Structure 1
Amino acid sequence: MNRLSRRLLILGLPLAALAGPALATPPKRMIAYKTPWCGCCGGWIAHMRQAGWTVEVVEREDLAPIRAQHGVPDRLASCHTAVVGAYAIEGHVPAGDVDRLLAKRPAARALSAPGMPAGSPGMEAAGREPYTTVLILNDGSTSVFGRHNGA
């Protein structure tokens, strides 16, 4: 190895080490809006945190304005709304679906688990029922995004 190659190798290693964190995946952060009295929302937030998400919790008496701002219709509403990047996450959506949404980055407004399905993250104490997560596209139409508990 000549002197120039060795110098580049020696100088390049610290630079590569510094560049490593900059090239890493961005942190998984979201804001979750919930009402002060809902306990199952805390279960969903714990699920997201266990999956590696940093969740900032904001309590509001009325979540309808948050849902309206992010294009979530009342028929697809649940008890809490999270926001991650350009997407709203409505209700008890599993962390794996949120991760898949961000990996695929579809032209959509939100991902919803309408209502409060038994057996969804945060709703385990209610039993277990099949449910789907629904992608709310930018034009307001929907498509099934995920099937859970045998749905």
Structure 2
Amino acid sequence: MIKVASMVLKNNLTKITFITLLTILFLYILNFVTDKNEALANVENKRIVEVFKSPSCGCCNGYVLFLEKENFKVKQIDLESVHTIKQKYAIPLEMQSCHTTIIDKYFIEGHVPLEAINKLLKERPDIDGLALPGMPIGTPGMPGDKEEPYVIYQLVDGSFSVFMTI
């Protein structure tokens, strides 16, 4: 290898070619490593969520697709009775919807829009979770266009108050 390099470097044009090739090889390797690291970082940056839902719920599947599109890594947990998860998190009946999502230390009840989830995760308030009761038309996972403002509630120990209106 050293002998070949010595022979190659004897004339200036060959030296320039050799250095150029080495530079290209170095940049190629650097680019490959960087791309691989960025891909790994993107996978690691995906926030993991669990969605507890009925296996036959179509709008729940729509919400899962919405979360995946928004770069969440979703673990779906199909339950015969979703009431057990709602009882576990003390979600009052009037705040319930068809599915419950767990993200970090919070629950997200129903078809809560991304804007509210992002606000929750940015501010990290001392609450148990968020709820958008029922299945409002036009929310993520639900068909149709938004007809009225969505009132998202924050819950603490079963009590609730307005978190935000979208």
Match of 1:62 in 2: 81
Give 1:95 deviation, angstroms.
Answer: 1.8
Q: Distance between the aligned counterparts of 2:72 and 2:115, measured in 1?
A: 11
Residue 33 of structure 2 is aligned to residue 47 of structure 1:
no
TM-score by length of 1: 0.75
**Structure in which a larger fraction of residues adopt helix:** 2
Match of 1:128 in 2: 147
**Any runs of at least 4 consecutive aligned residues in structure 1 with deviations exceeding 4 A, and if so which?**
none
Correspondence 1:1-150 to 2 at 5 A: 26-125=45-144, 128-137=147-156, 139-148=157-166
Counterpart contact for 1:47–1:95, Cα < 8 Å: no
Q: Which runs of 5+ in 1 are unaligned?
A: 1-16
TM-score by length of 2: 0.69
Give 1:38 deviation, angstroms.
Answer: 0.7
Q: Distance between the aligned counterparts of 1:49 and 1:66, measured in 2?
A: 22
Q: Distance between the aligned counterparts of 1:45 and 1:36, measured in 2?
A: 12
Q: Percent identity, aligned pairs only?
A: 36
Give 1:140 deviation, angstroms.
Answer: 3.0
Secondary structure at 2:128's aligned position in 1? strand
Q: What RMSD over aligned residues (CA atoms) do the two structures have, in Å?
A: 2.2
Q: How many residues align?
A: 127
Letter of the 2:161 counterpart: S
